[in-house]
Amino acid sequence: MMERITNQSLSEIFEENPAVAEIIAKRSIVAASARLAAKKARDLTRRKSYLESAALPGKLADCQERDPYKCEIFIVEGDSAGGSAKQGRDRAFQAILPLRGKILNVEKARLDRILRNKEILALLTALGCGVGEEFNIEKLRYRKIIIMTDADIDGAHIRTLLLTFFYRYLGQLVDAGCVYVAQPPLFRIQKGRRADYAYSEEEKERIVEELGDRGLTIQRYKGLGEMNPDQLWETTMDVDKRMLIRIDDNDHVESDKLFTKLMGEEVEPRRAFIQKHALEVVNLDI
């Protein structure tokens, strides 16, 4: 009885308000597409055991260790950096996942499109913990996820896109302290057989002053691919020497506002933010 009355009432409302009916119909289609895409992603990321590797992405260079608490994965941009990282890593516990180009900006995309993105699917499959309702941190294959991008504008953009994805869809990993950003050096200063690395302009100036400016060779790294495997290991991947920044979400409200402002559809808030902080930028590559 109630179902018949509800259907009759809705039919009358839709007939009198075709524009409203069209909006509801479109949203229903979008929601259905999103559900199908989410199911596909769950099927791709679900595995019998997080120790299995048969379904892992072909581009992933996995590690030998099977204890997730001892494993870490580097997410790097491009095959060039990926090649250096694969050669320079410690295969026992370090995995490398190269991503091609810039991943989708999840702040501007619907869920069904996000879960069709090849790079995002490769990342989800490599991590193994699922997403959304299927998320299970106990299936996470690496307890340390390290974003390692070039020290230039494109690298910063890729890093921000990845952090947006983690914040919006894998926030539990951020809360658990699993997400890190690598800090590759900006400069290599060599004098004779001595080589020093600088991670900022100030550090470079200090080293130059210490060594004297005669006979110096200064290399500005614009990409991880410019480093040979040994250099990448000793500066960015060696546990005893590297510097990592752990990503924390101490203020969820402010974090939400910031991601919406920087990565969302509205242009004016982003322009205002850039204008306000433009003079704070250092090491800008154009």
pLDDT tens digits, residue range 169-200?
899 999 999 999 999 999 999 999 999 999 88
Same domain, 144 and 204: no
Task: Answer whether residue 11 is part of any domain.
Answer: no
Is 60 exceeded by the pLDDT of residue 70? Answer: yes
Same domain, 192 and 214: yes
Quick check: pTM over 0.75?
no
* Candidate ranges 44-58, 78-92, 99-113; pick with highest mean pLDDT: 78-92
Percent of the chain with pLDDT over 90: 43
Same domain, 111 and 252: yes
- Taking the C-alpha atoms of residue 283 and residue 40, their distance in angstroms, rounded to an integer, is 42
Same domain, 112 and 210: no
| Mean of the per-residue pLDDT values of the chain | 81
Alpha helices in the chain (DSSP H): 2-16, 18-45, 78-88, 111-114, 118-127, 153-169, 171-175, 201-211, 229-232, 252-263, 267-277
How many domains, the chain? 2
What does the pLDDT average to over 100-107? 82
Task: Answer whether residue 218 is part of any domain.
Answer: yes
What does the pLDDT average to over 258-283? 53
What is the span of the domain harbouring residue 45? Answer: 41-183+240-263
How many CB atoms neighbour CB 250 within 10 A? 6
Same domain, 67 and 138: yes
Contact 149, 156 (CB under 8 A): yes
Task: Answer whether residue 119 is part of any domain.
Answer: yes
Same domain, 54 and 178: yes
Same domain, 209 and 251: no
How many CB atoms neighbour CB 178 within 10 A? 24
Task: Answer whether residue 193 is part of any domain.
Answer: yes
Task: Answer whether residue 48 is part of any domain.
Answer: yes
Same domain, 173 and 48: yes
Is 60 exceeded by the pLDDT of residue 48? Answer: no
Residue 81: predicted pLDDT = 85
The residues assigned a catalytic role are 77, 150, 152, 154
Least confident of 27-41, 57-71, 174-188: 27-41
Is 60 exceeded by the pLDDT of residue 266? Answer: no
Same domain, 139 and 210: no
Residue 34: predicted pLDDT = 60
Least confident of 54-63, 178-187, 199-208, 266-275: 266-275
